[in-house]
Amino acid sequence: MDAERRAIRQRIDAGQLPVRVRTDKCWAGKSGGGRCSGCDELIQADDNEYEVVMDDGGETSGSLVFHRQCLDIWLTECQRREQSVSND
């Protein structure tokens, strides 16, 4: 298991990342120098960042910024968890 996946799983477990399969909006763009919500590393200025906006008016509204690979890991982990919940 790579470090990013481990970090993202821990964050989901700790409630620091939501479990959200369907994202309301997602933008790709040049990094503004922020930190990745997945691995907590800086997104370098020459990298693209992927911003996910959750605008449902609820407690989880807000935006998250990811590296491309971290976004993929997060979405995969969310799908895995959603499936395991619905199978209970």
Measured from the CB atom, is 13 or 83 closer to Zn ion? Answer: 13
- Note whether 42 and 35 are within 8 A (CB): yes
What minimum distance in Å lies between the beta carbon of 4 and Zn ion?
6
Residue 39, exposed/middle/buried by CB under 10 A (0-12, 13-18, 19+)?
buried
Residue 53 vs 83, nearer CB to Zn ion: 53
Minimum CB distance to Zn ion, residue 80 (Å): 18
Q: For binding to Zn ion (CB under 5 A), which residues are involved?
A: 36, 38-39, 67, 70
Give the DSSP H/E element, type plus range, for residue 86.
helix 68-86
Cβ nearer to Zn ion, comparing 68 with 83: 68
Nearest residue to the partner Zn ion, using Cβ? 36
d(CA 64, CA 18): 10
